[in-house]
């Protein structure tokens, strides 16, 4: 059976992309390896491998994309805006601060738990008649010729045999599709794992996000719905994660947060369950080969230090849909190889800028050399005091310059 577009991978990027395509009246078959949860309780968002304990800081551009899809009213119920961002280093003088009011924007973005983002997206996909969703199906073969891309996928004893003019591989950092096409990928292990959880503090967050660089790792504290509720993302050295996980380590974890942040958030009173995720950078050598294009973490997996990974993927998806919409208007081939290569070229500048920035921040702030420490804190002070820098950086962070 011929489909206009097949998406492999039904995580947040795959679901968002499917909805973008459906809005342009392009039919989609979406394949996901893991069985989706049943949402019986409207007040709960069950974890899924792609909608896990992590949170996403949606940039203004990502929010705009969801507004265009007509989804933001549903997502806003579970999100909270970031009105101020503070960047500091523990035990140092440097400090940088961005305020939405000064930059004349409503907010820098919105923080939402991935579990809720995934639930809203999945619910909308399930309602969309132009999207056929098949979960619990494992892709076992991907090939292509001049006319079609061909997929075989197993679900129990049954094998789906599909063909399409275009396949979009959004199947994660260890992408089967990328490997099946023989596309290489460079990988850098940061020797870190991210400790992820939510905490309750005695002081309200006032919609302020903190990035605090410490000897343990760069600690992000972001506001969540509920004025005393915050998300924590703390990359620490690989091999030390057991020190922070488990209920018996709750107070130890809270004490470490208190020591690192001081009293800016008041007293850290309660922590949720902690989860850990290994951190590495994985960059595909190509993103478009024949009738297949890589998307999301299959194309580029980056460090979460500046919260840019998902937002970069959303911009990729949005631009790809724009190219496909032009092809559709001309009744042209949606999987045209030259068009997909044009898409890849169009996205490289934004991708390379974000990848380089995130990698530089991790490497630069991980080095405790006193000279480098002085240099980076001087840089933070320059950022805070030299006119014209903040608006430029703010626009990049919000995804408005790409």
Residue 318, token pair as written in the block = 């949005």
Give just the sign of the alpha carbon dihedral 70, 225, 10, 344: positive
Which is higher by pLDDT, 263 or 281?
Answer: 281
pLDDT at 68: 96
Place of tokens 């004025």: 227
pLDDT at 371: 45
Range 180-204 average pLDDT: 95
- Sorted by sequence, the CB contacts under 8 Å of residue 191 that are 6+ apart come out as 237, 238
Which range in 94-103, 261-270, 313-322 is most confidently predicted, on average pLDDT? Answer: 313-322
Q: What pTM, to 2 d.p., does this model score?
A: 0.88
pLDDT level of residue 83 (50, 70, 90 thresholds) = very high
Angle subtended at Cα 236 by Cα 230 and Cα 242, rounded to the nearest 5 degrees: 95
- Sorted by sequence, the CB contacts under 8 Å of residue 70 that are 6+ apart come out as none
Distance CA 215, CA 368 (A): 8
Which is higher by pLDDT, 43 or 169?
Answer: 169
Which is higher by pLDDT, 232 or 365?
Answer: 232
pLDDT level of residue 1 (50, 70, 90 thresholds) = very low
pLDDT at 396: 47
The answer on pLDDT for 282 being more than 70 is yes
Segment among 188-192, 220-224, 304-308, 389-393 with least mean pLDDT = 389-393
Which tens digits make up the pLDDT trace of 124-154?
A: 999 999 999 999 999 999 999 999 999 999 9
Q: Which domains does the chain show, CATH number per domain?
A: 2-397 (3.50.50.60)
Which tens digits make up the pLDDT trace of 166-183?
A: 999 999 999 999 999 999
pLDDT at 390: 47
Range 206-211 average pLDDT: 91
pLDDT at 391: 52
């Amino acid at each position: 059976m011929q489909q206009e577009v097949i998406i492999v991978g039904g995580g947040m990027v795959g679901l968002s992309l499917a909805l973008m395509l459906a809005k342009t009246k392009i039919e989609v078959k979406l394949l996901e390896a893991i069985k989706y949860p049943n949402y019986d309780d409207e007040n709960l968002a069950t974890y899924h491998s792609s909608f896990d304990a992590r949170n996403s800081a949606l940039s203004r551009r990502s929010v705009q994309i969801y507004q265009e899809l007509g989804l933001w009213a549903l997502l806003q119920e579970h999100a909270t805006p970031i009105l101020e961002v503070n960047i500091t280093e523990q035990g140092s003088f440097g400090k940088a601060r961005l305020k939405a009011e000064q930059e004349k924007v409503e907010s820098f973005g919105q923080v939402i738990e991935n579990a809720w983002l995934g639930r809203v997206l999945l619910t909308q996909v399930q309602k969309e008649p132009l999207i056929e969703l098949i979960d619990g199906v494992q892709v076992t073969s991907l090939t292509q010729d001049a006319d079609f891309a061909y997929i075989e996928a197993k679900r129990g004893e049954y094998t789906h045999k599909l063909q399409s003019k275009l396949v979009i591989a959004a199947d994660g950092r260890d992408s089967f599709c990328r490997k099946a096409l023989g596309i290489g990928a460079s990988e850098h292990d940061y020797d870190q794992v991210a400790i992820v959880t939510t905490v309750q503090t005695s002081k309200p967050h006032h919609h302020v996000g903190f990035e605090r660089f410490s000897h343990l790792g760069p600690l992000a504290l972001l506001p969540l719905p509920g004025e005393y509720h915050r998300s924590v993302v703390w990359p620490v050295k690989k091999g030390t994660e057991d020190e922070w996980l488990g209920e018996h380590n709750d107070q130890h974890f809270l004490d470490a947060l208190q020591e690192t942040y001081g009293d800016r958030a008041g007293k850290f009173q309660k922590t949720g369950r902690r989860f850990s995720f290994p951190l590495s950078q994985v960059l595909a050598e190509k993103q478009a080969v024949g009738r297949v294009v890589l998307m999301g973490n299959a194309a580029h997996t980056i460090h979460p230090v500046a919260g840019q990974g998902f937002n970069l993927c959303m911009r990729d998806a949005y631009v790809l849909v724009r190219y496909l919409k032009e092809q559709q208007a001309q009744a042209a081939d949606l999987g045209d190889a030259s068009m997909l290569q044009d898409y890849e070229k169009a996205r490289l500048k934004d991708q390379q800028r974000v990848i380089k920035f995130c990698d530089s921040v991790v490497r630069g702030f991980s080095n405790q050399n006193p000279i480098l420490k002085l240099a980076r804190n001087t840089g933070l002070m320059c950022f805070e005091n030299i006119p014209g820098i903040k608006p430029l950086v703010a626009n990049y962070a919000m995804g408005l310059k790409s």
